[in-house]
Structure 1
Amino acid sequence: MSRHTAATSPGTGTGADGGSSASAVSVAAGSRLTAPVTTTYREALREAHREALSSDPRVFLVGEDVGRYGGSFAVSLGLVEQFGEGRVRDTPLSESAFTGAGIGAALRGLRPIVEIMTVNFSLLALDQILNNAATLRHMSGGQLSVPLVIRMTTGAGRQLAAQHSHSLEGWYASIPGIRVLAPATVEDARGMLAPALADPDPVVLFEHGSLYNLAGTLPTDPVVVDISSAAVRRGGTDVTVIAYAGGLGKALEAADLLAGEGISAEVIDLRVLRPLDDATVMASVARTHRAVVVDEAWRTGSLAAEVSARIAEQAFYELDAPVERVCGAEVPVPYPHHLEEAALPQATDIVAAARRAVGRRG
């Protein structure tokens, strides 16, 4: 599969739903938000980039097709026309090279945003991310700082088959020396980039591919997002459902279904995968006494395993039932739609896990 083929699959291109429609200019170039704005996840990301490039001359965007093509998922559409090729730079197909260039620029005091098309391609730059960006502060005794943001698309559900459907956020969340973010809402997509660029250490920002067309409303005031804490997206008393990125919408859908059965589910959006916000998770478990962890990644060695272990370590005596995990099947993600759906966590799977946790069958 070519990289352009992956980028223009249904729901991800620059057509009617891809960000080039009238809604794409709902936030005017370079303007401040003065009224509630209905926008999409993709457009919110684009406006965050526009604001960053406008407000700080040290910021530049680099990656494959980020310029004239407008970005693999149309996030950078129009930015090269506004800021020029010196600030929005297309690169050859060499993730290791342009990620390394971003690290070098960060060491020299710039604020690079490196876009890697999809998470599977980031494996070609893993040496740069793991052995350089994440370690230089430690290995220099605190003398070197790498203020770098690496963005990449993650996740399945778009029929991109086994090579372009990975959920490897948990791998990155195990690396000391980096911060790992996974915005699941339009507001977080809009607000996470600025504090990520202000962080003196590397930040890896995962954008789930199924969310780019997600619509939402941004508040009147400028969006300020805390990139240290999880968020309670729905209150509840019977069971805590913990999710992030593409799993959040399914968790909220499951909570609606459970409410119809008289089960009150509290939904936690992790959104910051490293460092994990243990306090918010444990406080919720202390209220509900049951937990379901949703993770699109493979069950073995997953982020869900880490969260489950932390709950067992820190809140064991609060639990009235074992922690349930709802994860992706232990197979390469299939291409056929019905098989892909079967391999991924769905709202009905979360409902079933929550029923088990509260001791109900159905």
Structure 2
Amino acid sequence: MKKMTFREVIAAAMSEEMRKDKTIYLMGEEVAEYNGAYKASKGMLKEFGSKRIIDTPISELGFSGIGIGSALNGCRPIIEYMTFNFSLVAMDQIINNAAKIRQMSGGQWKIPIVFRGPTGFAGQLGATHSQSFESWYANCPGLKIVIPSNPYDAKGLLKSSIRDNDVVIFMESEQMYGDKMMIPIKEYTIPLGIANLKKKGNDLTIVSFGKIIKIALEVALELEKKNISIEIIDLRTIKPLDYNTIINSIKKTNKLLILEEAWPFASIASEITYVIQQEAFDYLDAPIKRITVQDTPAPYAKNLIEKWYPSKKDLIENIMNIIYSQE
């Protein structure tokens, strides 16, 4: 085992796969000479050279299209966005080309490409740099959406994403790049589409993903002191989504709360709520609750951010309302 940061495991996963397969390369803004905007490709230019670690102009639409074209010609590109907010410029390529070519070609063409970079809120970065678009991309057939919550999962999921023959949107967080964890030296992968039961419990199920799941874990430990037992599921993969793990948990706890850092309208929580009320309604003892950011652009002022972003207090209040509403 070796203690590694989130940014280090990202670089390690890419490097390990690139050593095995010469068709894999990394392309994006500042990934080479600068070692990545968040140093998630540190040392890779020195090892693999400028033909496989490629700096690009500030033109997400352009280099995303180049990546898709190279995937059609036998490469396995990793396209890094400095932030997924910038991927909006490239959505025509991602949605209208990458996601659809396999079906439109009758399966003759595969698109083994990974689009990766940071997502979501990361402090006082303003409204245009604090957005979560996983529900947007998950709405489009042909894309797989992966959002790890810790360094161990990040490495295993990224290696599986690079090996996948479909288009993968791999979302990270600026606020997790410094997180540390003991990582096996021996190679491992984590299959896409399987959620992780992070904590067992009996009184209520929390479903979450990405960095905000840390709040759920902190709250669950606090509530144990009050003899409240919380089960926590980390989705890890948003699409395909592991509904079975959620349903099996609800059969035990009979209560569900979904925590995410996206806007509430048409959120991942909305989709999960619909499926659960269709497939597991009879097991629910209380209405499903969701906690998201407020339905406004992200504010810059700290006092407004505290009102906009979900807090431990918000989570505890909602948990108590769900549990004690049945008494």
AA of the residue aligned to 2:41: S
CA distance in structure 2 between the aligned counterparts of 1:219 and 1:95, rounded to whole angstroms: 34
Q: Does 1:165 align with 2:96?
A: no
- Residues 17-74 of structure 1 show CA distances to partners (whole Å, capped at 9, x for unaligned) of xxxxxxxxxxxxxxxxxxx111111111111111122111010000011010111111
Counterpart position of 1:249: 214
CA-CA distance at 1:359 after TM superposition: 1.4
CA distance in structure 2 between the aligned counterparts of 1:52 and 1:348, rounded to whole angstroms: 42
CA distance in structure 2 between the aligned counterparts of 1:59 and 1:240, rounded to whole angstroms: 39
- Out of 54, 66, 78, which is 1:89 matched to? 54
Counterpart position of 1:350: 315
Counterpart position of 1:213: 178
- SS of corresponding position for 2:19: helix
Please show how residues 182-261 of structure 1 align to structure 2 within 5 Å.
Answer: 182-261=147-226
Counterpart position of 2:45: 80
CA distance in structure 2 between the aligned counterparts of 1:334 and 1:176, rounded to whole angstroms: 32
AA of the residue aligned to 1:321: A
Task: Give the stretch that moved more between structures: 185-194 or 214-223.
Answer: 214-223
- SS of corresponding position for 2:127: coil
Counterpart position of 1:13: none
Q: Does 1:320 align with 2:274?
A: no
- SS of corresponding position for 1:179: strand
- Residues 326-352 of structure 1 show CA distances to partners (whole Å, capped at 9, x for unaligned) of 100111111122322321112221111
- SS of corresponding position for 2:193: coil
- SS of corresponding position for 1:192: helix
Contact kept? 1:155, 1:210, Cα under 8 Å? no
AA of the residue aligned to 1:127: D
In the comparison of the two structures, how many residue pairs are matched? 326
Counterpart position of 1:70: 35
CA-CA distance at 1:268 after TM superposition: 0.3
CA distance in structure 2 between the aligned counterparts of 1:260 and 1:174, rounded to whole angstroms: 40
Counterpart position of 2:21: 56
CA-CA distance at 1:157 after TM superposition: 3.5
Counterpart position of 1:19: none
CA distance in structure 2 between the aligned counterparts of 1:174 and 1:259, rounded to whole angstroms: 37
- Out of 60, 74, 82, which is 1:117 matched to? 82
CA-CA distance at 1:360 after TM superposition: 5.9
Contact kept? 1:118, 1:153, Cα under 8 Å? yes
Contact kept? 1:114, 1:151, Cα under 8 Å? yes
CA distance in structure 2 between the aligned counterparts of 1:52 and 1:222, rounded to whole angstroms: 10
Q: Which 4+ residue blocks in structure 1 deviate beyond 4 angstroms?
A: none
Q: Does 1:273 align with 2:238?
A: yes
- Out of 88, 97, 111, which is 1:132 matched to? 97
CA distance in structure 2 between the aligned counterparts of 1:93 and 1:53, rounded to whole angstroms: 25
CA-CA distance at 1:255 after TM superposition: 0.7
CA distance in structure 2 between the aligned counterparts of 1:77 and 1:264, rounded to whole angstroms: 41
CA distance in structure 2 between the aligned counterparts of 1:318 and 1:360, rounded to whole angstroms: 16
Counterpart position of 1:310: 275
CA distance in structure 2 between the aligned counterparts of 1:277 and 1:248, rounded to whole angstroms: 17
> TM-score, normalization: structure 2?
0.97
Task: Structure 1: state its 5+ residue gaps.
Answer: 1-35
CA distance in structure 2 between the aligned counterparts of 1:347 and 1:153, rounded to whole angstroms: 23
CA distance in structure 1 between the aligned counterparts of 2:176 and 2:283, rounded to whole angstroms: 34
Counterpart position of 1:359: 324
